[in-house]
Amino acid sequence: MSPITDKELTQVTLQSTFVFSTPAALLSRRGPLALEPDIIHVWGFILEDEPGVVEDCRALLSAQERHRADRFVFARDRSRYVVAHGVLRRLLGRYSGFAAESLDFEASATGKPVLRNGPVLHFNLTHSENGALLGVSASRELGIDLERVRANIEVHAISSHYFFGSEREAIAASATPDTTFFRYWVAKEAVLKAQGIGLGFPLDRFRVAFFPGDETARIDTFDSTALSGDWTVRMLPAESGWLAAVAARGTDWKVKLEREPQP
């Protein structure tokens, strides 16, 4: 396959929509996967709970992951965890050249999972309801977030208590406040996951400032000792009803939406 050009990559990033592949298609994938410098690969897949798929994914998990899965009270949550981490292992195995079941994870200094064996890979997994996204990079620490837009959320009350002033104003002035709220939410989540600090960091201690078009944003941090200010957020083109974002340091990186043909 010939290398993708900057022009082609821009078209993929801005005009395409990530597709939720089936776990079966990703599990059955053969051959290696390669990462290009300064390009983040994003995979979308559904968390279906077909018994055969769940069993195949569970076979790839470590004993610790199986134990964690078994602690979920509801079968649906258990199945979704198993499928998400089974697909994660399969795809990272294709990137690293290691068997999926042999991948060894440990927590970094910030608590993010990292691979102990194989080449350096930066990755982040997110899911919402029955959808999941995986971002992978060879050179950039990253965070990714996915949310289903929901109308049963008190967006004005939440944003008034936890969001920065200009973000609250944008939500209040929006003709579609639910969508605007979740746009800021996924952007903030992606940044916090990239930094590795999670929602323990106050959401009003940094500002997401979207550029015209609302596809890219910069970050203004008010606590640089905990949260760096050099993160850039790129919104991912999603199907109606979904919002997703990926964050990475600097501005000289792009996104490649990966698609797997259905079996």
Specify the pLDDT at position 16.
Answer: 72
Where residue 40 falls among pLDDT bands split at 50, 70, 90?
very high
| DSSP state, residue 99 | -
Dihedral over alpha carbons 91, 36, 190, 76 (to 10 degrees): -10
Inform me whether the pLDDT recorded for 21 exceeds 60. yes
Inform me whether the pLDDT recorded for 102 exceeds 80. yes
Where residue 84 falls among pLDDT bands split at 50, 70, 90?
very high
Specify the pLDDT at position 3.
Answer: 44
Predicted confidence (pLDDT) per residue in 130-183, tens digit: 999 999 999 999 999 999 999 889 999 999 999 999 999 999 999 999 999 999
Q: Among residues of the chain, what percentage have pLDDT more than 90?
A: 77
Mean pLDDT of the chain: 90
Specify the pLDDT at position 10.
Answer: 46
Inform me whether the pLDDT recorded for 4 exceeds 50. no
Dihedral over alpha carbons 37, 20, 145, 235 (to 10 degrees): 70
Inform me whether the pLDDT recorded for 17 exceeds 90. no
Specify the pLDDT at position 261.
Answer: 58
Predicted confidence (pLDDT) per residue in 42-65, tens digit: 999 999 878 899 999 999 999 999
Inform me whether the pLDDT recorded for 235 exceeds 90. yes
Inform me whether the pLDDT recorded for 214 exceeds 50. yes
Q: Which of 21, 22, 82, 17 is nearest to 56 (CA)?
A: 82
Where residue 100 falls among pLDDT bands split at 50, 70, 90?
very high
- Per the document, the length of the chain is 263
Q: Which of 8-12, 225-229, 256-260 has the lowest mean pLDDT?
A: 8-12
CA angle 120, 219, 141 (to 5 degrees): 5
Mean pLDDT of 25-38: 92
Domains of the chain, each with CATH number or no CATH = 6-145+251-258 (3.90.470.20), 148-249 (3.90.470.20)
| DSSP state, residue 102 | G
CA dist 192 and 58 (Å) reads 29
Specify the pLDDT at position 239.
Answer: 85
Mean pLDDT of 4-18: 52
Q: Which residues of 107-128 are buried (b: 16+ CB within 10 A; e: fewer)?
A: eeeeebeebeeeeebbbbbbbb
| DSSP state, residue 74 | S
Q: Do 247 and 142 meet the contact criterion of CB atoms below 8 Å apart?
A: yes
β-pairing, 142-148 vs 131-137, is unpaired
3-state secondary structure of 64: helix
Q: Taking the model in full, what pTM does it have?
A: 0.91
7 class by beta-carbon count within 10 Å (0-12 exposed, 13-18 middle, 19+ buried): exposed
